[in-house]
């Protein structure tokens, strides 16, 4: 039985979810699991990190499968191993196994990757969702990636759509919905530090229960 506390963070693209997780991990002195989960899964599957990254938090629609099989751009999504499973499924299953193993080993913060659903059997999970007003997200992405306003808005729309389809197809739940999340934080109102302060207080309260 897992006694330590786990935090999962779902997030809109450009909302600052990774930064919230990173600052919180530093304050609490616990591990942050985000992009490093891609590397771990790639190592376990013995594939390149680049291939694992292409299918991370992404689901290729079935209507594209026939095209993808013959297209170099999308072939990685449907490349199967001897089991016949496409890479998208194999990466998800491997990340899920890694998330469960890490959660059993000690406290940590998991960003994205359906961690709230994967760890649904654990009672000591604080499941959160970070969001922000669109204009704030656009400004953040423009600054981070040196993009124009239109480029940033397009990237937000595309990434959010991919995350939504990925999450909902894997979990059967609404992405960003109240069913999956203990609490939601609007960083446009709270700020990054405000969200971190709140989560730190909640975490420390849970640890003393």
- pTM above threshold 0.85: yes
pLDDT of 32 over the 50 cut: yes
Q: 21 or 60, which is more confident?
A: 21
Instruction: Name which of 101, 70, 100, 74 is nearest 88 in CA terms.
Output: 74
176-205 tens-digit pLDDT? 998 889 899 999 999 999 999 999 999 999
> Contact 126/203 with Cβ under 8 angstroms?
yes
Query: According to DSSP H, which parts of the chain are helical?
Result: 17-28, 36-45, 49-54, 65-70, 75-78, 87-105, 115-118, 134-145, 149-171, 187-207
60-119 tens-digit pLDDT? 533 333 333 344 444 444 444 456 688 889 999 999 999 999 999 999 999 999 999 999
């Amino acid at each position: 039985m897992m006694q330590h506390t786990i935090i999962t963070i779902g997030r809109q693209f450009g909302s600052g979810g990774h930064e919230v997780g990173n600052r919180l991990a530093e304050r609490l002195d616990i591990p942050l699991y985000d992009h490093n989960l891609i590397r771990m899964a790639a190592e376990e599957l013995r594939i390149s990190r680049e291939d694992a990254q292409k299918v991370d938090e992404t689901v290729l629609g079935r209507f594209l499968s026939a095209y993808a099989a013959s297209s170099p751009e999308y072939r990685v999504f449907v490349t199967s191993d001897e089991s016949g499973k496409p890479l998208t499924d194999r990466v998800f299953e491997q990340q899920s196994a890694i998330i469960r193993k890490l959660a059993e080993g000690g406290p940590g913060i998991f960003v994205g990757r359906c961690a709230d659903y994967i760890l649904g059997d654990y009672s000591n999970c604080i499941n959160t969702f970070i969001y922000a007003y669109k204009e704030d997200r656009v400004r953040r992405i423009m600054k981070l990636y040196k993009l124009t306003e239109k480029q940033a808005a397009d990237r937000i729309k595309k990434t959010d759509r991919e995350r939504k389809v990925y999450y909902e197809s894997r979990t059967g739940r609404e992405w960003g919905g109240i069913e999956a999340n203990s609490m939601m934080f609007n960083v446009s109102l709270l700020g990054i530090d405000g969200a971190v302060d709140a989560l730190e207080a909640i975490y420390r309260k849970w640890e003393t229960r």
